[in-house]
Amino acid sequence: MQLKSKACGAYGTNCYIVSIDGKEIIIDPGMDATEWVLHNVHNPIAILNTHGHFDHVWSNADLVEALHIPLYAPIDDCFMLESDPFVQGTPSSHADVAVVGDQNFDINGIQVSFMHFPGHTPGCSAILIENALFSGDFIFKNSIGRYDFPYSSSDQMRQSLEKFLQIEADWEIFPGHGERTTLKTEQKNVPYWFSFL
């Protein structure tokens, strides 16, 4: 697996391009991601959204139109793609595949697992490809996603963190903002956050 990333837009949202066997998957194309993505893909097969916040989905529409590939997004966040609830002027996009909970996909021979971790948003998910977990705004290096936004839930965040602690693996984590980390490292940090929930 080869990986390219770029922090895009005013919020520095990480857009990722995962390349396996000459096929590419685009994860979270946010604000100002279109030109960079188009310059760096040769055989794209899908766009994946970890959740529906505008800074992660802004370039969905442009890339679907340009590349004619399917868009996957968590079903509980699809309304954010379509209706711009935060009134940011986000271009409307529509998921070709609405992901329900924890769901596995074979996308042109590439195994992709969505893992549902609600709290930051109702549909907030992490996406596992091989041993890389693209955690969106659920888990960051030394931090967790905010749960004080509209449609967020501290109760769901607590449940998601408890679920996160049960994972027995040591995947590398590629978050929606900031630097990469590892699952074992962040499992050690999680108990600290329970006192705030």
**Residue spans per domain, the chain:** 2-191
pLDDT digits (tens, 9 = 90+) for 32-83: 999 999 999 999 999 999 999 999 999 999 999 999 999 999 999 999 999 9
Q: What pLDDT does residue 16 have? A: 99
Half-sphere exposure in the Cβ direction for 38 (13 Å, CA): 13
**Residue 146: other Cβ atoms inside 10 A:** 11
Q: What is the mean pLDDT of residues 101-114?
A: 98
Q: At what angle do helices 183-194 and 154-165 cross, to 10 degrees?
A: 140
Query: Domain 2-191 belongs to what topology?
Result: Metallo-beta-lactamase; Chain A (3.60.15)
For residue 63, which amino acid is it? L
Tokens of 77: 């966040």
Could you tell me the pTM of the whole model? Answer: 0.98
pLDDT digits (tens, 9 = 90+) for 146-197: 999 999 999 999 999 999 999 999 999 999 999 999 999 999 999 999 989 9
Q: What pLDDT does residue 173 have? A: 98
Cα–chain center distance at 117: 11
